[in-house]
Amino acid sequence: MIEMESEQQMAANVIKSGSNGAGHRGVVKNQTIAARREADEILARAHSEAEAIIENAVKESEEVLEKAYREGLEKALTEFEKHLIEIREIRSNVLNDAERDLLKLSVRIAEKILGKELASNKKAVTDIVATALKHARQREKVTVSVNPSDLGAITAGGEKFSSDERIRILDFVADPSVSVGGCVIETEVGKIDARLETQLRVIENALLSQADGGENV
């Protein structure tokens, strides 16, 4: 059973709480340059494919028009119109695929930037755990699994979590399956997966769904 208030809102809050440090600016610059290069390649490839589709369409259109004079104008023009509609759909699909690739690229870059920031900024890690804990509806007995490299910083910052009187028993455990900077929270009624990659997938799926016109991804 997964506890959910607003999955997308929780993902945004958790990630925001871990990205407030200043130490990631140099990493951001380097990742932005790499992202821009890859984005340019994606767009160039998409436009190249679209141009190839148009060029091929022109040749096929000429053949259809020649056929019009040979077999009867009305029937051939109907085929020509149908052919143009198909071409527009193919071209649109190519460009839509490019947009999806760019969205996925943006999420991958964000994951790299945040991952590096969280590896060096343990305060941001405790902020993420604190934010995730706020989304747990039942907090009397809570177990928080974190990456072994984060456990020391989390337990040292225990006062950040002790102010919540609704948490009677709070245990932190090391779990190598949890990525650096993330956590998995278990309560009496369910589980909250606040690992970085999980939260980013929630946001990525929301963006892709929006790009597809609201359809589920």
Q: What percent of the chain has pLDDT over 90?
A: 7
For residue 130, give the nearest of 20, 35, 214, 1 by alpha carbon. 20
pLDDT at 70: 62
Residues 194-208: pLDDT tens digits?
Answer: 888 887 787 778 777
pTM of the model as a whole: 0.55
For residue 152, give the nearest of 174, 179, 168 by alpha carbon. 174
Dist. CA 101–CA 108, nearest whole Å:
10
Q: What percent of the chain has pLDDT over 70?
A: 52
Q: Which CATH superfamily is domain 122-211 in?
A: ATP synthase, E subunit, C-terminal (3.30.2320.30)
pLDDT at 28: 47
The Cα-based distances of 187 to 2, 139, 147, 172 in angstroms read 10, 6, 18, 12
Q: List the end-to-end C-alpha distance of the chain, in Å, as a whole number.
A: 21
Structure tokens at 36: 């821009």
Dist. CA 146–CA 154, nearest whole Å:
8
pLDDT at 5: 45
Residues 9-50: pLDDT tens digits?
Answer: 666 565 556 555 544 455 445 555 666 676 667 667 766 776
For residue 135, what is the DSSP state? T
Quote the mean pLDDT of the chain.
71
